[in-house]
Amino acid sequence: MKFLAGILFAGMIMCGTPALADDIDLSTWTCKTFLNADKQTIELVLTWLDGFYKGEDDPPVIETGKFVENAKKLATYCAAHPDQGLITAADQTLDSD
C-alpha cells in the first residue's frame, strides 16, 4: 500500500511540475539573463543560491525573511548591472552569515 501511495505521489509531482528543458549553468549567466528568466527558473535559481551561500555549519533551514531580502538585493543589483555575471553579483549581494 505504501508503494502504491509513493507511485501516486510521484505521478502527481511529475504532472504538476513542468520539467525544465535545459541544464542551468550559472557560471555563464548574466544578471540580464537572470532577470529575463521565467518565474519558475528565477525561483529555482534563488533557492539554489540560498543554499550555496549558507555556511557549512548552518542548519538546513530556509529563513524566508532573509531569503526574500536577499532576492530583492540581488534583483536590485542586477537591474543596475545587467551585464555583470550572476555569480559575481551574488558574491556582492548575498549574505553568508
CATH number of residue 29's parent domain: 1.10.890.10
As for how many domains the chain has, the answer is 1
Asked if residue 31 is part of any domain, the answer here is yes
Is the pLDDT confidence value at 71 over 90? yes
Asked if residue 15 is part of any domain, the answer here is no
Which domain covers residue 36, as residue numbers?
22-93
Asked if residue 72 is part of any domain, the answer here is yes
Asked if residue 14 is part of any domain, the answer here is no
By mean pLDDT, which of 1-5, 13-17, 37-41, 87-91 is the weakest?
1-5
Asked if residue 89 is part of any domain, the answer here is yes
By mean pLDDT, which of 20-29, 70-79, 82-91 is the weakest?
20-29
Taking residues 84-95, what's their average pLDDT? Answer: 93
pTM of the entire structure?
A: 0.73
Contacts of 56 (CB under 8 A, 6+ apart): none
Output the CA–CA distances (angstroms, integers) from residue 49 to 9, 40, 70, 90, 95, in the order listed.
27, 14, 10, 8, 11
32, 83 in Cβ contact below 8 A? yes
**What's the confidence (pLDDT) of residue 15?**
52
